[in-house]
Structure 1
Amino acid sequence: MSLTQRKIVSEHAAEPVGAYPHARQVGNLLFLSGIGPRERGSKAIPGVKMDEAGTVLDYDIVEEAKSVFRNIRLILEDAGSAWENIVDVTVFLTSIERDFKRFNEIYREHFGSIEPCRTTVEVNRLPTPIHVELKVIATIG
């Protein structure tokens, strides 16, 4: 049995930083690529302060997380799904020690009522000067 597949490229969320789509639908499941806090059409990263050389001076994990959540919502909506259909989340943080508590607070505000499964890992670095990225699985249809 072959499941129908469809590639999703949102025209509203931040552009992918590599050769991959925002998401791929397989049957009634939607698999999102790692989604960060950048904004479409901009190099600025919400919550991240950098100097002229591109060195991160400081960042606000709450502002980054809110922007990630916005991008995820946009992708889900463009795919024909919804925030409430999220069933699994993998969170990548660059500093669990610094950011885990504050991230959990903002996460609870946005995900508390739907309670998806979740895994959180600390990573040494993400592909751009960001400090949080989410990988999401949702249902569709």
Structure 2
Amino acid sequence: MSQFSTDKAPKPVGLYPHAKRVGNLLFLSGVGPRKAGTDEIPGLMADKHGNHHEFDFAAQCRSVFDNVRVILEESGSGWDKLVDVTVFLVDMKRDFHTYNKIYAEYFKDNQPCRTTVGIDSLPTAIAIELKCIATIE
């Protein structure tokens, strides 16, 4: 068993690696849309008091896919090796249609198994998180 972490992806919000290899499978920890090296959340603008005044779920969606891709590649796997994706959405009614549309753009060639779960909240002010399994050689 080996684990992977990279500075090219957002820092985990707890004590865990970005990914762990077990045999020929790579398990990714939950990945959100935050930018690497910062706590900035794409598509989420707040005033100096922390009140959110702009929200762009599509930007968060694209960012989370980009973060997953980076972790896969840095771990020695790749986007085309994804076999299972679980997505957690904070607002299923508002965001599912957008997620589904953007997902189809990113996964038109590789179509892993997928589960979508609606939840109440995530540990930071993000609206989406992915949990993925890929193969690795």
* TM-score where L is the length of structure 2: 0.96
Residues in 1 aligned to 2:108 and 2:67: alpha-carbon distance in whole angstroms: 18
Matched residue, 2:39? 43
- Identity of counterpart residues, as a percentage? 51
1:24 corresponds to 2:20: yes
Matched residue, 1:88? 84
Q: How many residues align?
A: 137
Any runs of at least 4 consecutive aligned residues in structure 1 with deviations exceeding 6 A, and if so which? none
Residues in 2 aligned to 1:107 and 1:71: alpha-carbon distance in whole angstroms: 14
Matched residue, 1:136? 132
Aligned residues of 2:31 and 2:67 also touching (Cα < 8 A): yes
Residues in 2 aligned to 1:21 and 1:76: alpha-carbon distance in whole angstroms: 12
Aligned residues of 1:91 and 1:135 also touching (Cα < 8 A): yes
Per-residue deviation, 1:111: 1.1
Matched residue, 2:74? 78
Residues in 1 aligned to 2:56 and 2:74: alpha-carbon distance in whole angstroms: 28
Residues in 2 aligned to 1:33 and 1:63: alpha-carbon distance in whole angstroms: 21
Structure 2, unaligned runs of 5 or more? none
Of 5, 10, 13, the match for 2:6: 10
| RMSD of Structure 2 on Structure 1 (CA) | 0.9
Residues in 1 aligned to 2:7 and 2:39: alpha-carbon distance in whole angstroms: 16
What is the identity, as a one-letter code, of the residue corresponding to 2:112? Answer: P
* TM-score where L is the length of structure 1: 0.94
Aligned residues of 2:7 and 2:37 also touching (Cα < 8 A): no
What is the identity, as a one-letter code, of the residue corresponding to 1:124? Answer: D
Aligned residues of 1:90 and 1:136 also touching (Cα < 8 A): yes
1:99 corresponds to 2:117: no
Note the alpha carbon deviations across 1:40-92, whole angstroms, 9 max, x for none: 11121101122222233332111001110111111001111000000000000
What is the identity, as a one-letter code, of the residue corresponding to 1:50? Answer: A
Aligned residues of 1:8 and 1:79 also touching (Cα < 8 A): yes
